[in-house]
Amino acid sequence: MSLSIHEKEKRGKKISKILAELYPDPPIPLEHEDAFTLLVAVLLSAQCTDIRVNQVSKILFAKAKTPTKMLKLGVEKIRDIIRPCGLSERKSQNIYDLSRILLEHYDGQVPQTAEELEALPGVGEKTAAVVLMQAFNIPSFPVDTHILRLANRWGLSESSNPSIVSRELKQIFPKSSWAKLHLQIIFFGREHCKARSHDGNKCPICRHFSS
């Protein structure tokens, strides 16, 4: 049975309180120095763990942490370095191509609108939202697999479409909480509310909403 927006907001307040107690100051998982290195790190994170991305990006950024240096490095060397992250052929080409576009059209700077970011090779809605939020402090609510799963599990959304889930979560939670809440839900999903072997009666949040 679907919850009303009032019931979702009430549930959202309870969830926010629990998450704030568990993760009062959640760190940004992907290590980066600026908007460009964050953009590259998020691209690398597709189907790869944050731990692996941080290991690989450290090596990559030691050689090239600007669009200019990334172009000089070249696709093949980028691919060789990022191979442990998986999908290296596609990711290396995207990193090279977006570096070229940033230099040709944005003076080497990462744009600050969702439309411009999503027009870059390999950049989708979630990646753009992460960059806007974490690099430029522009309110966004990126939805990854953890947030999608938990939003459904907690009755905050019934959709499997990340774009729709993002819009629904924005209606439930105050804009000022989005950046921290996004990270809190991800950490909670990894540690307490996993996709498999989940016990709703023991979960710190799900146990409050089980019927």
Q: What three-state secondary structure class fits 158?
A: coil
Cα→Cα distances 198→86, 137, 202, 207, Å:
28, 34, 8, 11
Active site residue 34: no
Active site residue 126: yes
CB 144 within 8 A of CB 161: no
The count of other CB atoms within 10 Å of the CB of residue 148 is 20
Report how far residue 97's alpha carbon sits from residue 50's, in angstroms, rounded to the nearest whole number.
Answer: 23
Of 50, 77, 97, 144, catalytic: 144
CB 44 within 8 A of CB 79: no
Residue-level length of the chain? 211
Report how far residue 193's alpha carbon sits from residue 205's, in angstroms, rounded to the nearest whole number.
Answer: 8
What residues act catalytically? 126, 144
